[in-house]
Amino acid sequence: MNYYSLNHTAPNTTFENAVIKGLAPDRGLYFPETITALDPCFFETIETLSNKEIAYEAIKQFISPEIPEAILKEIVSETLSFEFPIIKLTDSISTLELFHGPTMAFKDVGARFMARCLGYFNKNNSSEVTVLVATSGDTGGAVANGFFGVKGVRVVILYPSGKVSNVQEKQLTTLGQNITALEVEGTFDDCQDMVKKAFLDYELTSKMQLTSANSINVARWLPQLFYFMFAYKQLKNKYKDIVFSVPSGNFGNVCAGMIAQKLGLPIKHFIASNNDNNVVTRYLKSADYKPKPSVQTVSNAMDVGNPSNFIRIQAIYNNDFESLKSNLSSYSFSDKETKEALNEIYKTTGYIADPHGAVGYLGSKSYLKTNPDVHCVFFETAHPTKFLDVVKEVVTVDIPLPKQIKAVIDKVKVATQINNYLEFKAFLTEI
């Protein structure tokens, strides 16, 4: 499989080069040249397959033959070492729990998959690859854990000071070894801008190999299509029309779901559930795409004012607004509504959601008002104990800390504070 730049002025390249480089030379995101639908019988019998068999069949066209079959199967197996259960809340709404991995967030899948791909490509390389990561919350911890100890790879994580939860901060600042955290005075967008600027800085790129582990990297982004297939496997014989409500920040999950749909997965519709960072909600109403500075919310992993992956979504639909709008709805919800939803979910079902899942739940309810005959699945993207300060405001029962959280909660944070790009560049030059 080859990949092309969505800026259309760089040469097409291999999966390996797309993973190692992260961005194309013209600063465009890489996108697969072709997407070949799977045999319909794959979906007709999907309930007979294991998650690992499903994932391998779904992903292999995007990677083969660069990673041999046996190695790719091993990568998939190591990536998917935990479960993805569906929990039914009402007759019309279920949730897919994506938080059973090592950092209790959906990004464990992409981070673990990418780390193993990069480790394979770098196994005989004497030079070091520096992975740059901007995080609004869960990406940092997932990437830190996924890349921890990987030979020849150094990870530098930028996160906005005071805008991630205590647990999220501990997960990305306490590992050490090849993982370094930079605490940025600013927003997620400031962190992301610094990372993008570093890729454009010839003084840096001429001296060190930089790549990204945000969802702009194809190896971080594409494995997210697995979630949709795992959900369909569990619901296929129960509901005819399945709609996914996805809490959306950088839009990697929705975009990956659309790839799963292109592969033939019978998804009825997508819902992008936004917090007050609602550039896509506004776009679908006006056809005018206007990024704006991000604002801080209680669902902080979605605090993104300029979603990187939206250009990939537009590419899937050949920049046809009406075609996209027919397959994607979007709703935006305030912090007040999010907290009310946390309370409602608990009071009516006994289920404790996290703030991001609550936004997904609200998106499901909004869509069902005019589409009552579908079954909505919202993504529960992180364990609620990662956001105890928010959840405990409305759910007053004791929530036991899972072992993954207990392992980091009392560790000492180690982070370097920076204020601007020059300080970031100086740090990279010195490591």
User: Exposed/middle/buried for 124, CB within 10 Å: 0-12, 13-18, 19+?
Assistant: exposed
* Angstrom distance (rounded) from CA 354 to CA 297: 13
- 103 has pLDDT over 80: yes
Q: What is the sign, positive or negative, of the torsion defined by CA atoms of 347, 348, 353, 354?
A: negative
pLDDT at 141: 86
* Angstrom distance (rounded) from CA 139 to CA 357: 16
* Angstrom distance (rounded) from CA 355 to CA 183: 23
Q: Which two tokens stand for residue 423?
A: 């300080």
* Angstrom distance (rounded) from CA 204 to CA 154: 15
From residue 4, alpha-carbon distances to 12, 19, 217, 416 in Å are 5, 13, 13, 36
Report pLDDT digits (tens) over 224-276.
999 999 999 999 999 999 999 999 998 999 999 999 999 999 999 999 999 99
Give the SS3 label for residue 44.
Answer: helix
What are the backbone angles phi and psi of residue 160, rounded to the nearest 5°?
-80, 125
Confidence band of 282 (pLDDT split at 50, 70, 90): very high
Report pLDDT digits (tens) over 175-191.
988 999 999 999 888 99
pLDDT at 431: 72
pLDDT at 36: 97
Q: What is the sign, positive or negative, of the torsion defined by CA atoms of 105, 110, 115, 116?
A: positive
pLDDT at 157: 94
Active-site entry in 21, 73, 88, 107: 107
From residue 59, alpha-carbon distances to 38, 223, 395 in Å are 11, 7, 39
pTM of the model: 0.91
Report pLDDT digits (tens) over 135-155.
877 788 888 888 898 888 899
Give the other-Cβ count within 10 Å of 234's Cβ. Answer: 17
Are 142 and 111 in contact, with CB atoms under 8 Å apart?
yes
Confidence band of 215 (pLDDT split at 50, 70, 90): confident
Q: Which residue has the higher pLDDT, 95 or 166?
A: 95
| Cα of 348 vs its chain's centroid, Å | 29
Are 418 and 182 in contact, with CB atoms under 8 Å apart?
yes
DSSP class of residue 37 equals P
Are 359 and 247 in contact, with CB atoms under 8 Å apart?
yes
* Angstrom distance (rounded) from CA 183 to CA 399: 29
* Angstrom distance (rounded) from CA 399 to CA 192: 33
Determine how β-strand 2-5 pairs with β-strand 30-32: antiparallel
Known catalytic residue: 197?
no
Report pLDDT digits (tens) over 297-346.
999 889 998 999 999 999 999 999 999 999 999 999 999 999 999 999 99
* Angstrom distance (rounded) from CA 178 to CA 156: 9
Confidence band of 354 (pLDDT split at 50, 70, 90): very high
pLDDT at 156: 96
Sketch the domain layout of the chain as residue ranges.
Answer: 83-106+221-403
From residue 323, alpha-carbon distances to 15, 42, 306, 326 in Å are 29, 26, 22, 5
pLDDT at 290: 93
- 47 has pLDDT over 80: yes
Residue 291, sorted as left (phi over 0), alpha (psi -120 to 50) or beta, turns out to be: beta
pLDDT at 60: 97
Confidence band of 74 (pLDDT split at 50, 70, 90): very high
From residue 135, alpha-carbon distances to 90, 172, 219, 304 in Å are 33, 10, 17, 10
* Angstrom distance (rounded) from CA 289 to CA 124: 44
Q: Which two tokens stand for residue 231?
A: 């959900």
Q: Which two tokens stand for residue 295?
A: 């604002």
Provide the percentage of residues in the chain whose pLDDT is more than 70: 100
pLDDT at 340: 97
* Angle between helical axes of 107-121 and 69-79 (0-180°, round to 10): 150
Confidence band of 14 (pLDDT split at 50, 70, 90): very high
Q: What is the sign, positive or negative, of the torsion defined by CA atoms of 410, 414, 420, 425?
A: negative
* Angstrom distance (rounded) from CA 43 to CA 226: 13
Mean pLDDT across the chain: 94
Which residue is listed with tokens 């005071």?
A: 162
Are 144 and 155 in contact, with CB atoms under 8 Å apart?
yes
Report pLDDT digits (tens) over 376-404.
999 999 999 989 889 999 998 888 999 99
CATH code reported for the domain at 83-106+221-403: 3.40.50.1100
